[in-house]
Each structure stands twice: as C-alpha cells, then as structure tokens.
Chain A
C-alpha cells in the first residue's frame, strides 16, 4: 500500500487538474458567450411573490394536517381544533384567492392560445369554461366544480380515483375481474 499511494496521489492530482481545466474552460466559455449562448437558464414558472404564496399555502396545509393529527391523539380538544383550523382555512382561502388573481391573466392567455391552436387544427373550440371554474392550483392539475365520481373504499372509506382497481390506502380490491 505504501508503494501504491504515491502513484495514487499523482493520478488523483492529474484527475483534479483535468477537472480544473474542464470546469474553468466551461465557465469562461459561458461568461464570454454573452447573454444568449443557446442554453437559457430555465426561469422559475412562478414569480417570487407567487412562490411565497405557494409556500405559505403548503405550510398552512401542513399545519392543518398536523392539527388534525394532534386532535386524533387527543392533544387538542374539539373547540380548539375548530378554532385553529378555521384560522388556517381562512388564511389559506385568502392565499388561494391571491394566487388566482395573479394567475388569472395567464389563464386567459392559455385559453386564447388553446382556442387558436384548435382553430388552426380545424377543431371547433370547446364550450367556454364554466363560469365558476375551480381555481387551478399551481402545482397540481386543474379541477372543476363537477361532482367528482370518486369511489370510496368499502373497507377504509378512503376516496379513490373513479377507475381505481385497488384502494390506494388499504389495498382492498375495488373492482372485480379487472387486470
């Protein structure tokens, strides 16, 4: 081992030197290439303010979840559960409302683009969105107001997708005869 180690460190030093050259070359090339070298830095899909709202929403949801858990354990009584959850929900609704307001112009733009794309493909645009469409959550698929035919599990009552074969919570088969 003592004979091999000097060679090892020489090889490691060589590798480091190579990495240095590669990294600094890449860096300098990027700097000297100017504003646009064909690989744009992906911009965040949300502005800073929107991200802050999304984070706050996530924290409020986590807080509600934790509150319900502590209520299950008995640490929080019913009155406090109701009071605190109401506070969280009120703020969460406000956050969703603010997010909606900020995203609405983009939604309009998206609808217009979709209509144009459909028109250019010769497809009649779909009926306009329902007047009281459910606000889209930035990190989730948009949902509408139509009753959601979700399948409750007969074993644990968890809500499942309409086409679910097995319950996502307890694994009970929901649909006989499916693959």
Chain B
C-alpha cells in the first residue's frame, strides 16, 4: 500500500461507493416493480457497497497509522506522537472523517438488514434496501463534494501533523461518538421499513413487527449515546456538570424525544389499529431529527463549543431535509386512505389514553427544545438581533414538563388497556400513593436536618409573574420529584409482584418460576417497566443537583476545606513528565468524621503542542450517596500553595445506574422467546422451567451483585496520564449561590473568548465586570435589576436567558400554548372517541348466515391458538 497513491485510491473508492449505491438502488427499484428474482442481486449490491465503505475506512485508518500527511484530514487531526488508539479515534474526530464513519454505520445497518430479511418480506425488501441506499448516496455526495476525507494539502506533505485537539484525547473519544452515531444512524432502518410500507401500501402491522428489534436497538443506542455524552462531560470536561443544553447536546436529545413517543404509540396501532398516520409521522420525524441534528452540528449555524466550523455542508443537508419532508409528506398523503382508521377509545381511564398523553408531553418537550435551540437563528432572521439561550432557561422550563412526564410514567402502568376497573385503580394507587405521601412527610420534616431540604430557593429568571411561577415550581421540585420517584418505583414493583402472584395462583408455580415466566411471556411490558425504573433512577440523580454545594479555597499542604460534611485535605503536589506534556498532580484525601475515605488527585496538564495549552483534570470520588468532585485551579511551584474548588454533588451516580437499568430493560424487551430459540412448541414444553428460571436468576443475580459492588464501593475517577479535558478557560471564585446563578447567565463580551458566562471566564474584562456587579449588589440591587442593566448595556446577546418581553416571550409562550391547546384537544377527542365506545362497531356482530356451528368451530380454533400462544410464551 506504501507504493499506492493513497489519496487517489481513497477518492476512487469514494466514487465507487456512490456508483455502487446508485446501482443497488436502481436494481432494487426494478425488483420492486415485480421482478423479485432480482432480490439476491440487490442484497449482493448492498454487501458490495458496504464493503466499499469499509475499504474507504481502512484506507483512511491506514493513512492515520502511517502518518500520511499528504491527506489534509490526517494532517489536521493527528501527529506522530499520538498513541495508536487516538489515531483510530481521529477517524471520527473531525467533520470529514465523521461523515465517512456515519456512512459506514448506515452501510453496516443496511447489510445487517439485508441479511436478516433474506427471504422474508419480498414485497417490502426492495424498497427497504433502496431507501437505505438513498441515505448512503447522500453521504457519498457529501464526501465527494463537501467533506472529502481524502482531499490533499495544496503545498505538499509537511513532516508533522497538527495533532488531535487535546480536548478529544481521552478514552471517551473511543466510546461516546461511535455509540451516539450507532443510535442516530440506527433509525435509518425503521425509517426504511416505513417508507417501503408506504410505497407498497402494505400498511398493516407487518412492517412494524419486522422492524421492532431494529427500532428498540436504535432507541437504546441513542439513549446510551446521550448518557455517555453526559458521563464524558462530567468526568472529563471539568466544569462540574453533565448537561449544559448546548445546541449539539440538544441535537442528540431531540431525536430521542421523538423516538420515545413512537415506541409507545406503535403499541396502540398493534393493538387497536389506531393512529397509523400519527405513527408514520412520528417515525419520519425521528429520522428527520437525526438528520436535522447532524445539520445543526455540522453547518456551524448555531454557535456551540461542540460544533464544527461553519461550512458549505449545511446547504447539502438543507436540500436533503427538504427532499425528506416533501417525500414523506407526499407518501403519507398518497396513502392516507389506507392509513385512516376509526379511532375509538373506550375510556379516558385506559392505557390507550395514557399513551396519548405520553405522546403529548414528549412532543411538547421536543417542540420546546427545538424552538429554544433554533431561537438564535429565528431571532436573527426575523429581527436581526442575536440572542443566546443558555442552560438557565432550559433548567427552569424543563422541570415542570419533566414532572408531568414522571406522573404519567407512574400512572400509566397501573391502567389497563381499553378500560380500567375503577375499584382496582383506586386500590392499585393506594400503596404507591401512601408510600409517596410518607416520603413527602419525611422529606419535609427531616430533609432540612439531613441537608436535603424539601423546598429550595428558586431564583427568578424573569421579573414577571411567569418568572415567579417558574421559581416556585423549581423550588418545590425536589419534594415533588422524590415523591414522584417513590410513586413510580412502588407502583412498578407492585405490578411485578401482582403479576407474579397471579401466576403463582393460577399456574401453580413457585415464586422464581412464576417471576421468570411472567417476564418471559410479557417481555415488552415488563422490559418496558424496567426501562421506566431506569428513568426514575435518573430523575433521582437529577434531583440531587438541587443540593450541590461547592467551595473554593487556597490551601497549603496539610490544610483542608469542608463541603457538606466532607473534609478534603490537600497533601501536596508533584509533577510528572510525558513526551507531549507536563502533568501537575495535587494529592488530596477525602475524609468524613475524621475517617479517611479516599485519595484523589486532580491535575493540570500543560501541553507542548499547541504550546502552552493547559487542561484541567478533575478527580471524583463517587458513591451512590454523593460525588466529591475536586478541581485544581493552580499550584504555586515554589510555595506549593494550591487553589482548589470542591463540589459535592448528591446522587449523581444514580443517573449512570439508571442508564444501565434502561439498557437491561430494553434487552429484555428485545430478547427472543424460548420458542424462537428452540423452535418447536413441543420442545418448548420440555424446556425445564425451574432450571431455566434458576439459571436466569443466577446470571442476573451475579450481574446485579457486580453492579451493586460497583456502585456501593467508592469509585475513583481521576486524572488520566494520557488524556485531557477542560472545556472552559478556568474556574472563578463565587461568593454566594445567588452570585453564581447570576454570573452563569451573564456572558462575557470581551470579544476574544467564546462568550463564556462570567461564572467561568477568567479574562480581565470578565473580572472587571464581576467586580462592578458585586459592587452593585452590595449597594442593594437585585439580581434581576443587575441582569436588566447588563442587557441594556450590552444587548440581548449578552444574557443567556432571553427576556420575557416582546418577541422573546414567544420563546416559551408558543410551545406552552401548543402544549396547552393540544391537551385540551386530546381530552375533547378522547371524550368524543369514548362516547362511541359502547355502540357496536361495524364488525362487532357476525354477518347473517354464519351459523352457530361455524362460530363454535372458530371459537374452538381460537382457543387452541390461545393455548399454543401460552405454550410459546
């Protein structure tokens, strides 16, 4: 390969990808027009296209490993000193390579889809594979004309490369982007199934069933990708948080907000044949959001610390998105007669209606995040004013929406499909209700003493009634959240218990077998419950952020600072040299009540290249109760005096635990049934149930024990000698919580930094601004007054929360109005649909002449089928 002109070879391969995808697409279309004997040719075309993309990836990977700096992408994102794993990570470290990687994943999914289909769904197969090839072609066009990973440098190959951004040189680069891309690209397959169903008119549930596992996989990969991003931000970026509502973060979150309603409401279609149009729309929306999210991050249209530089790639995305919208709309309108179904809800107290409410609130959250994320663009387009929408805005508004979602998560599983027995429902809510009430009482009475008050101080983000209402909800959120988490937890455990008890009674099985059989026979239901429990664990973790405490102090060796009962003692500092950097570690001991709990070592890394670049390495001691998070600001090499910031964050570990539980729950939902594995029903009957239950229980028990040990034993995350972190320029001393909240909203206008908030920018302009603001507050001005004056002096773009006046009010008013209006419509429609519930439907009575004998015969056949269904599980 050394003698080969690698860039030329790479470009030839890119061209070949486009040609191969186009060829496969064409053959697929011909096959779909009734020449199904061409299906093997289509599948082979898919495999060939994927192999070509693999070839391109291997070529680029070789170029990195052999330091071929003729290629601009290799020059830009690597150097000779990088370790091999960072050279691999560089494949997706920049725009061009990440497009190739995206194309590769779509190709891989296409190949898996083609293989899994083989001789199934011959009518749908051509259009499924054709749709996937269209997506591959789009990325092929992008690579050839806008983001070519094999383009060469003009002036000849330099001796050394520029190196990967130190921010990206950590092990998370190997994990987070691939996982997130797996989730984003995974939605291509269910989307392709949907398009094929629309084109062929086969709009029964066949395509939904066939794509179910792909859907669940894409869902959990996307969720895990988001969680890994949170974990990366928390462990490596050194600002103490895990989610900043950055546009790029939102770009990955929005497809999830569209996917969750789809995963739920598709069950309505399967059971009741309803909402076919809505489900098709949801799936198209989910796929569109993955493309839109990619567009946001790559076009550079919205400023973000994560995003790529502004480029022409955005134009290609716009064209593709327009084609997507027009194409999907045309297909849906064309097939509307086939999609339309009579909507009938038997009762508002039903799981059916609860699923509709679930869709309502999640769509509302999606609308909210979408408008807020694109508000800077909207504002600039409509009135020429740049505004910033920072995390303070989202944190306030998403709390009430999240609480509504939590309430629905708690009530939904208690309801029955079609119509719930009111007596049962009241009884079912008693235990969870009592438990949550007890927790509320305990929280109110004991919370303050334990350091977790039920009501916290919520600052106003607006000087209007809206601001006060939001502040009140935010203040009560810890109480409502812990009560809600308790309700959901107890309610779900009750569902498991009642189901197991029913089996023990009716099937006369022991507890273990009954529990195993319960889950095995209703994997979707109980796997879904496990996912809910994971979500609630995450909610509990989020609640802990209301109790964060931090302190910043200069310490001499031997001195300590105390935060929330944790004493952190500074023992000394040391320097370690590396070929590429100097690493200054500070050794600290975490103590509680005089007892040593752990040793942690926050650090600063000073890089040779780019010269003088310094990054911050945090150190974390993590337990289920709280994380002790230490940041080293600076250390004087002569006096050894160090400045440290220590944050104690309660319950953060529950977020990661919740993520693991969500993975487990989804895996249960996706698991094949025993009959799918063993085949014949008779074999299924001989499967020793007790042995099976015991085996599964043993495996799950071991995993749970390992997990428990992992979370109960303190986990130490500290400076990696070969990684880097730190997004922000540094940390700033805050004198009070109010000051911290205010400075987080005011942005630095020095013109040099990336408009960081005053709470983290350490430039002299920011220092002066902070001093002036402190004087104003000491003179008696409120935070809102200071904020207003800052806005008047520097403009709307200097505040991370748009005002509650004029057009800026639309930022929250439009989504809230839509949410409220949709709620009213839903209740109205629900009542209308349920009014016709008692009337016999069009096929509720048998046609004349059927005969009682025939009915009896069919009933007997149905009973046998039901029995066989029970045997299959």
Produce 1/0 per residue, A165-179, CB < 8 A to B: 010111100000000
Please determine whether B20 and A55 come into contact, CB atoms closer than 8 angstroms: no
Q: How far is the CA of A90 from the CA of B862 in the complex (A)?
A: 11
User: Which of B58, B346, B853, B870 makes the CB contact (< 8 A) with A65?
Assistant: B870
CB distance from A90 to the nearest CB of B (A): 6
User: Which of B16, B55, B62, B855 makes the CB contact (< 8 A) with A6?
Assistant: B62
Scoring A6, A12, A35 by chain B CB atoms within 10 A of each residue's CB, the highest score goes to A6
Q: How far is the CA of A64 from the CA of B868 in the complex (A)?
A: 13
Q: How far is the CA of A171 from the CA of B119 in the complex (A)?
A: 37
If A48-B123, A72-B502, A90-B846 touch, does A96 touch B861 (CB 8 Å cutoff)?
yes
Q: How far is the CA of A37 from the CA of B423 in the complex (A)?
A: 66
CB distance from A96 to the nearest CB of B (A): 5
The tally of CB-CB contacts under 8 A between chains A and B is 228
Scoring B39, B40, B841 by chain A CB atoms within 10 A of each residue's CB, the highest score goes to B40
CB interface residues, A 69-111, toward B, < 8 Å: 69-70, 72-77, 80, 84, 87, 89-94, 96-97
Determine if B380 is an interface residue (Cβ-Cβ < 8 Å). no
Closest residue of chain A to B53, judged by CB?
A16
Q: Using Cβ atoms and an 8 Å threshold, which residues of chain B touch A59?
A: 205, 270-271
Q: How far is the CA of A133 from the CA of B330 in the complex (A)?
A: 47
Q: Using Cβ atoms and an 8 Å threshold, which residues of chain A touch B1?
A: 10, 13
Please determine whether B859 and A89 come into contact, CB atoms closer than 8 angstroms: yes
CB distance from B416 to the nearest CB of A (A): 4
User: Which of B51, B123, B415, B857 makes the CB contact (< 8 A) with A134?
Assistant: B857
Q: How far is the CA of A140 from the CA of B843 in the complex (A)?
A: 25
Please determine whether B508 and A155 come into contact, CB atoms closer than 8 angstroms: yes
Closest residue of chain A to B690, judged by CB?
A171
User: Which of B24, B35, B419, B867 makes the CB contact (< 8 A) with A76?
Assistant: B419
User: Which of B62, B83, B428, B682 makes the CB contact (< 8 A) with A9?
Assistant: B62
Produce 1/0 per residue, B839-862, CB < 8 A to A: 001011111001001110111111
Please determine whether B58 and A12 come into contact, CB atoms closer than 8 angstroms: yes
Please determine whether A36 and B37 come into contact, CB atoms closer than 8 angstroms: yes
Q: How far is the CA of A23 from the CA of B862 in the complex (A)?
A: 46
CB distance from A67 to the nearest CB of B (A): 7
Residues of A within 8 A of B (CB): 1-2, 5-6, 9-10, 12-13, 16-17, 19-20, 22-24, 26-28, 30-31, 35-37, 39-44, 48, 51-52, 55-57, 59, 61-67, 69-70, 72-77, 80, 84, 87, 89-94, 96-97, 132, 134-135, 137, 140, 143, 145, 155-156, 159, 166, 168-171
User: Which of B508, B509, B857 makes the CB contact (< 8 A) with A135?
Assistant: B857
Please determine whether B688 and A171 come into contact, CB atoms closer than 8 angstroms: yes
Determine if B708 is an interface residue (Cβ-Cβ < 8 Å). no
Q: How far is the CA of A84 from the CA of B866 in the complex (A)?
A: 16
6 A-B pairs with C-beta separation under 8 A: A5-B87, A41-B37, A63-B271, A73-B499, A90-B845, A166-B686
User: Which of B36, B38, B45, B869 makes the CB contact (< 8 A) with A24?
Assistant: B45
User: Which of A13, A94, A134 makes the CB contact (< 8 A) with B59?
Assistant: A13
If A30-B38, A41-B122 touch, does A137 touch B861 (CB 8 Å cutoff)?
yes
Please determine whether B65 and A27 come into contact, CB atoms closer than 8 angstroms: no
User: Which of B51, B52, B854, B871 makes the CB contact (< 8 A) with A168?
Assistant: B871
Q: Using Cβ atoms and an 8 Å threshold, which residues of chain B touch A155?
A: 508
Q: How far is the CA of A22 from the CA of B43 in the complex (A)?
A: 12
Scoring A13, A96, A97 by chain B CB atoms within 10 A of each residue's CB, the highest score goes to A13
Please determine whether B41 and A52 come into contact, CB atoms closer than 8 angstroms: no
Q: Using Cβ atoms and an 8 Å threshold, which residues of chain B touch A171?
A: 688-690
Q: How far is the CA of A55 from the CA of B207 in the complex (A)?
A: 11
Q: Using Cβ atoms and an 8 Å threshold, which residues of chain A touch B427?
A: 74
Determine if B418 is an interface residue (Cβ-Cβ < 8 Å). yes
Q: How far is the CA of A159 from the CA of B863 in the complex (A)?
A: 11
CB distance from A80 to the nearest CB of B (A): 5
Closest residue of chain A to B46, judged by CB?
A23
Closest residue of chain A to B58, judged by CB?
A13
CB distance from A128 to the nearest CB of B (A): 18
Please determine whether A20 and B861 come into contact, CB atoms closer than 8 angstroms: no
User: Which of A55, A91, A93, A135 makes the CB contact (< 8 A) with B209?
Assistant: A55
